[in-house]
Amino acid sequence: MDSESLKSIGSFLLWGGVIFLMMRYGCGAHMMGRHRGHGSCGKDRAAPDGNVRDPVCGMSVNPENAAAATVRGGTTHYFCSVSCRDKFEQLPELIADESTPGGHQHG
């Protein structure tokens, strides 16, 4: 094999691995309903590790590297994805109800 083929295969494997991890442990877990009940999706707004809960889907988000954020009523809300932020900005009543485990799901 030439070096160009090896680069292509390596790139394919790298991106395949990233996509697998996102679908298994990230937003894909929300779509498949597997994320509920994990310790990172508790009802508390802030977790002991400094993460906060996405108000739309309930996913644990590190504020330092959140995909998106918005300020509403003097409070900064952090989101796991731009689509969750957009849903929140369109319908702010989508904030996960504290009585509903897991909140809303992606999809």
Beta carbons within 8 Å of 39's beta carbon, 6+ residues apart: none
pLDDT at residue 39, rounded to an integer: 42
How many CB atoms sit inside 10 A of residue 57's CB?
A: 27
At residue 81, the pLDDT reads: 93
Task: Tell me what pLDDT residue 95 has.
Answer: 60
Confidence at residue 42, expressed as pLDDT on a 0 to 100 scale:
39
Residue 86 and residue 98: Cα distance in Å, rounded? 21
Task: Print pLDDT tens along the chain (107 aa).
Answer: 789 999 999 999 999 888 888 777 777 666 655 554 444 443 334 556 789 998 888 899 999 999 999 888 888 999 999 999 998 888 766 564 443 444 445 54
Q: Where exactly are the structural domains of the chain?
A: 3-94
| pTM for the whole structure | 0.46
Query: Is-contact 107 94, C-beta < 8 A?
Result: no
